[in-house]
Structure 1
Amino acid sequence: MDSWCLYCAKQGLGVFKSAWDKLNAELYQQHPYFDSRFIETMLQYFAHDTVWLCVHQSGGEIDGMLLVQRKGVTKWTLFLPAQAQVTPLLLQNPAILSQLLPLLPGFTLGLDLPCQDPAYSPLNPDSSPLQATIMPHALTINVNVSAGSFNDYLQRRSKKFRQNLQRRFEKVQQAGFGFTLHCFTKEAEMECALAQFGRLESRGWKEKIGTAVHLNNRQGQFYLQLLQHFAKTEQACVYQLCLNEQPVAMELCVASANMLILLKTAYDEDFSAYSPGRLLLYLLLQREFLCKRVQTVEFYTSADHNDLAWADGQRWISHHMLLRNPAVRYCHQFFKSR
């Protein structure tokens, strides 16, 4: 018999952890953002008691899982802390969502499905008769590091792009700086690497508004535990660019067999004239082309024209909304058009 069951997720995925990872592997090739290690670390640091794990079974087999939390009196939404750029919707068949809405606590009119990556989501414009809206959210990009060499990649860029990069490196050399790229991958290295990352963020605008990562704040503890979990299976790395051995830019990353995700960037604003973030990205991609350990480097950003110059591929991350029945959908569309 097909059925949905709901479980409090405040303490994690519990006995469903292996089933979660199995679905992620079958549907999305073990996407790092959907990995149970990522999900459970987010639940540990950012979940409230109103987060529920929804599990669907068909014929005794789990074929659907998602995490939801209340959003207002009559609406629910997928669990989405700021530390994630896309949300997991682990569904063999998206049509089963229509059975979930009436089962959510309270009287539920709608379910928001934010930040859906079309390459890793079951949703499309025809995936459900209850789908009311699709709203573009952010244009993300990637680089295919399995396609040829780094020189091949550079030749696919515009002449202006290559000239700008050359000028940036010449500017660094003319100022008397030597540059070094470090890559920290071991579990034991993560605490020191994140401490250095925090020092970079604390020197800039994020410190002024209170969002900088520190080892002793919730965000810092989240990233430390996350990176340590992934480092145990050699799927975490922290890239660091140094000028004359002084750290000036860093990138936190997690990986699967298919992709490397750029989680978070920090740079020393005192060196902003040298574009340290761009120099780091260049050296990072150069190394990934040499390593050939993944197929793509995924930026998961809101790309502007400068970002697009680096891209091999691009796609829109979108927000979706499901409504309880056609009458609710009609009312929603009516009031939206007024």
Structure 2
Amino acid sequence: MNIEWKIVPARELASLAASWDALQARLLPHAFLRTHFLLPLLEQFGTGQELLVYSEGADGWTVALLVQPIGQGRWNTFQPSQLPLGPALLPDGNTEALLQSLLRRLPGLALSLGLTQQDTLFCKVTADTPTLRRQHYIDTAWVDIETDFDTYWEARGKNLRQNSRKQLKKVEGTGVTPRLDVIEAADEVATALAQYGELETSGWKAELGTAISMEGAQGRFYQRALEGAARAGQMRIYRYWFGEEVVAMDLCVHQGDCLVILKTAYQQAHHAVSPSTLMRVDEFRALFAEGRFKRIEFYGRVMEWHTRWTEASRPLVHLTAFRWGWLKALQDWRARRAPATA
């Protein structure tokens, strides 16, 4: 495959944003793969070794990836934990040949290139080839918006419906009327993230050190990324209130007819009434009534609680391209032997 690759430091994505975003809108339209999301990721979590690789034709870019070295001769897509999918914008067609071409243009002697967390809704590689490995990563869940909310809700399990009704009555029995609001303006993001950080610090994420702090890299990233998404009209923050207290929040981005829930937090002190569940009932009811979106994505490993909201799931996969077929065969052989020799 004859592709003229251009390879530049990833920081140059800022000056090439229009070209990346135009290709992204055609090939993989999720707002977290827009440059207003990727540039803050590179700024806060990049090492400076990341590269932007792309090729262009008469009508603009045809393929683009953000990649990083991970060891001698080994490369992966740039994949901080805050990014649901690997930033690889690939056209339909011969993925194996395309990646073989790129391997021979990356700096040094590139032996392998991994495309992490690829969505099988868009990635059409269905099996291994002589130089390309396809590995299951996780299953992810989503909700299709195809009916009215009442029809959708009636199809949920009896436990979810009954428990949420009981929990709501318990809250209302204290004299509190829960309410949901939505933030979409960039100038409200900082305040909302401070509230979100307070929710996370009330729970287990504080113990792990993964709660959002406005002074830390997580807080700086989310503020810049969500403000950028808000300016593009692609951000929503849902807040659920008990009176004057915020008790649950969802951080979301959207593009086209799909909304992605990036993060959820709730006030641990109210866990007995599941404020995140009560929030999601009202949130989903509003989304179904709005008629703007056709799909709600969770983009994370399917958990038991996901299955209460949907039966739908699909795999995310890792792809690894090897420079030579014999190298893939050797790696496959070593992987098969590992359990027997452990």
TM-score of the aligned structures, taking structure 2 as reference length:
0.91
**For 1:293-312, what aligned pairs fall within 5 Å after superposition?**
293-311=292-310
Q: Tell me by how many angstroms 1:75 deviates.
A: 0.9
**For 1:68-83, what aligned pairs fall within 5 Å after superposition?**
68-83=67-82
Kept after mapping to 1: 8 A contact 2:251/2:261: yes
Q: Tell me by how many angstroms 1:23 deviates.
A: 1.4
Show the counterpart of 1:7. Answer: 8
**For 1:258-273, what aligned pairs fall within 5 Å after superposition?**
258-273=257-272
Q: Tell me by how many angstroms 1:312 deviates.
A: 5.3
Once residues 303 and 310 of structure 2 are traced to their aligned partners in structure 1, the CA distance between those partners, rounded to angstroms, is: 11
Q: Percent identity?
A: 30
**For 1:218-229, what aligned pairs fall within 5 Å after superposition?**
218-229=217-228
Kept after mapping to 1: 8 A contact 2:14/2:39: no
Show the counterpart of 1:187. Answer: 186
Show the counterpart of 2:101. Answer: 99
Q: Secondary structure at the match of 2:16?
A: helix
How many residue pairs get aligned? The number is 333
Matching residue's letter, 1:284: E
Change (3 A) 1:59 1:182: closer
Matching residue's letter, 1:218: A
**For 1:42-81, what aligned pairs fall within 5 Å after superposition?**
42-57=41-56, 61-81=60-80
Q: Tell me by how many angstroms 1:56 deviates.
A: 2.2
Q: Tell me by how many angstroms 1:41 deviates.
A: 1.9
Q: Secondary structure at the match of 1:120?
A: coil
Show the counterpart of 1:240. Answer: 239
The answer to whether residue 34 in structure 2 is matched with residue 25 in structure 1 is no
Q: Secondary structure at the match of 1:321?
A: strand
Matching residue's letter, 1:97: L
Once residues 16 and 126 of structure 2 are traced to their aligned partners in structure 1, the CA distance between those partners, rounded to angstroms, is: 27
Kept after mapping to 1: 8 A contact 2:240/2:247: yes
Once residues 271 and 12 of structure 1 are traced to their aligned partners in structure 2, the CA distance between those partners, rounded to angstroms, is: 46
Q: Tell me by how many angstroms 1:193 deviates.
A: 0.8
Listed as ranges, the gaps of 5+ residues in structure 1 are none
Change (3 A) 1:309 1:41: same
The answer to whether residue 38 in structure 2 is matched with residue 39 in structure 1 is yes
Show the counterpart of 1:135. Answer: 135
Cα deviation 1:217-239 (Å, max 9, x = unaligned): 11111111111111113221111
Once residues 318 and 175 of structure 1 are traced to their aligned partners in structure 2, the CA distance between those partners, rounded to angstroms, is: 47
Show the counterpart of 2:340. Answer: none
Aligned residues: CA RMSD? 1.9
Bigger drift between 325-334 and 85-94 goes to 85-94
Listed as ranges, the gaps of 5+ residues in structure 2 are 338-342
TM-score of the aligned structures, taking structure 1 as reference length:
0.92
Show the counterpart of 2:284. Answer: 285
Q: Tell me by how many angstroms 1:207 deviates.
A: 2.0
Matching residue's letter, 1:161: L
Once residues 87 and 186 of structure 2 are traced to their aligned partners in structure 1, the CA distance between those partners, rounded to angstroms, is: 26
